[in-house]
């Protein structure tokens, strides 16, 4: 594989993951619509795949996220509840679905893969 195809494969993986999430949460009427929405977000750039273990259930989950969460939801103000080692992300499937809160967090020790 040459270097010119590597970024494309990464984008395809992100699009497939994001479109599957959109279909699962009912944010898309069809696979085609989900793919269009996912491509629109992924092509903007600044998105990553996050695989982590949920603290509440121990379940391993996969999300397409942006570390630049303020681009997707305005900060609400007030005191931050973040603890040391906790990272904040915008969950892009929640954002596309129009959920009121698209912000998720993960502790560094629970992150299995982030790229």
Q: What is the pLDDT of residues 52-71, one digit of tens each?
A: 999 889 999 999 999 999 99
pLDDT of residue 3: 47
Q: Among 2, 4, 17, 3, which Cα is nearest to 115's?
A: 17
- At 7, which helix (H) or strand (E)? helix 6-24
Name the average pLDDT for the chain: 89
* Tens digits of residue pLDDT in 13-44: 999 999 999 999 988 889 999 999 999 999 99
pLDDT tens per residue across span 86-100 = 999 999 999 999 999
Task: Assess contact for 8 and 28: CB atoms under 8 A.
Answer: no
- Predicted TM-score (pTM) of the model is 0.85
Comparing CA positions, the residue from 17, 54, 61 lying closest to residue 38 is 17
């Amino acid at each position: 594989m040459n270097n010119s195809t590597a970024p494309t494969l990464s984008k395809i993986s992100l699009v497939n993951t994001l479109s599957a999430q959109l279909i699962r949460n009912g944010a898309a009427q069809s696979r085609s619509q989900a793919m269009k929405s996912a491509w629109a977000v992924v092509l903007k750039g600044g998105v990553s795949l996050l695989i982590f273990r949920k603290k509440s259930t121990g379940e391993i989950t996969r999300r397409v996220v942006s570390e630049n969460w303020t681009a997707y939801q305005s900060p609400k103000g007030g005191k931050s509840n973040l603890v040391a080692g906790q990272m904040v992300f915008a969950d892009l499937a929640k954002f596309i679905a129009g959920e009121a809160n698209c912000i998720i967090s993960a502790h560094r020790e629970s992150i299995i893969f982030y790229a």
